[in-house]
Structure 1
Amino acid sequence: MKSPEQPVPADDDSLLDNVGPALSRLRRQVGSGRGDLTRNIVLNVVGDAAGRITVGGVAEKMGVAQPVASRAIAACIAEGLLRRVASQQDGRSSRLELTDEGESARRAYAGEQRLAFEEITAHWDSADRLQFARFLTRYSQDASAWTTRGKPEG
């Protein structure tokens, strides 16, 4: 069943109020399935950290409780996508890193996402499509920096 399209709000305040729900819909609609989406998020978090992240760090980046991240990580390890490595700084702790298969899966999912983006925006003007891609990438980078600085409570 096709869901009804959300109209684009006419006024600026309503448009800005709809950013959060729109991002949430994007997250739900563009993935192949819940497991695939969670796996992709884990792989991207670990890949972006370049071997300098723990299970707790993944949980923090994902915004979930540690047991939730731990289950997702365990599934990725079982699939051969991640491995645990001993921390060189603290032998009691382990870091996570992508395996070759994990990096391949990460690239494949990025390719699927690009294809989805291209199909969804196929009727857009090329300049609009590229500008949106620039803004979306910039938004993602700024959101990461904002999270790293510590988002305000509230």
Structure 2
Amino acid sequence: MNCKLGQSKKTQTNLGSVILPNNPDKSLWLRDERLAKMKQMKSGFQMTKTSRRGDYTYRYGMGNMRFPDSLELPARTMVTSEHTISRMSHVILDPGNHEYRLLSPEETEQINTFPVGWTELEDVSNSQRYFTMGNALVVNLVRDIGKEIDKLVRQESNLTKFNPNSAVENVEH
């Protein structure tokens, strides 16, 4: 089968569109040692390493990452440790109070296109909420892929057991 997937008619959502300015949760703020550590982790490095057996050396390194994350670009893929001081955690400059900070659980929900508060349940810690969003798929992306698959299936002429009423039209939470 030869096919071309359609282009999305929606505009890209940037990280800034899900950020709640002036977040008062000081546990998210990065200052002093935490800020210095995060900057160090996001900067690139090159080093020479030696194999475990000591019989050869090799170059090892990582490129630098944007610091802070741009509010004008789409969010990067989230990880389960999003709330920790980690190279992969998002860091933003809060547009309201101009504090460097990590994302809130609600902001991570919105990046994955879940409703705000979706993971806020009794006996569920913020750490567990971040872990859930780090493992989640972007709901609207899955919906859009499903719609494209549905279009392709409908174009197939040799299907005998296709149910035309099983179209993927809307995802409800």
TM-score tier, shorter chain, comes to: under 0.3
Specify which structure has the bigger relative contact order, considering alpha-carbon pairs within 8 angstroms and separated by 6 or more residues. 2
TM value normalised by structure 2: 0.25
Q: Report the structure number with the largest CA radius of gyration.
A: 2
More helix by share: 1
